[in-house]
């Protein structure tokens, strides 16, 4: 597993669980949504980096 993907999963999960504590959302649902958002954020970052490299 690549490091950016792992970092996105951990960060997203952390944000999701924090949101469940602060907002009173179901913990499992917020964890899954957080992990999903973390993965999508990493995919966006990787796509932007690849596009920058192609333009050089």
Return the sign of the alpha-carbon dihedral for residues 23, 26, 27, 33: negative
Residue 1 pLDDT: 52
Which tens digit of pLDDT belongs to each residue from 12-53?
A: 999 999 999 999 999 999 999 999 999 999 999 999 999 999
pTM to 2 decimals? Answer: 0.82
Side-chain-side CA neighbours of residue 33 (13 Å)? 12
């Amino acid at each position: 597993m690549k490091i950016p993907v792992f970092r996105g999963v951990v960060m997203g999960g952390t944000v999701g669980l924090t949101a469940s504590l602060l907002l009173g959302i179901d913990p499992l649902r917020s964890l899954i949504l957080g992990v999903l958002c973390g993965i999508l954020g990493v995919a966006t970052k990787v796509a932007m980096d690849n596009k920058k490299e192609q333009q050089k």
